[in-house]
Amino acid sequence: MQGASHAGAIRTVSVEVSYDDGATWHRTALRSSDNDWKAQLDAPSRARYASLHTTARDTKGNSVSQTLIRAFGLK
């Protein structure tokens, strides 16, 4: 976790997505390369927003979680 005091190398990252403002969550598959993480989302046709819940853990036991309701809109 870059910039964190006593941080280790990133060990695990998980992302869950919700299309109903966090009422239900679905884990997404992630691809990584050189500290770059990507997910491909498959939104239902009627979805108007995507919410994200992300957790990262490092090799020294540090972790961070963040939830963004309506992180971005969908067309």
CB 2 within 8 A of CB 9: no
- pLDDT digits 0-9 by tens, 59-73: 999 999 999 999 999
pLDDT at position 1 is: 53
The pTM (predicted TM-score) of the whole model is: 0.82
| Pair of tokens at residue 50 | 């995507």
CB 26 within 8 A of CB 18: yes
- Cα–chain-centroid distance for residue 51? 9
- pLDDT digits 0-9 by tens, 22-45: 999 999 999 988 878 899 999 999
pLDDT at position 38 is: 92
Number of C-beta neighbours around residue 11 at 10 A: 13
| Enclosing domain of residue 51 | 10-73
Does residue 62 lie in a domain region?
yes
Does residue 2 lie in a domain region?
no
φ, ψ of residue 30 to 5 degrees: the values are -115, 145
Domain total in the chain: 1
With bands split at pLDDT 50, 70 and 90, how would you rate the model's confidence at 4? Answer: low
User: Could you give the CA distance from residue 75 to residue 58 in angstroms, rounded to a whole number?
Assistant: 35
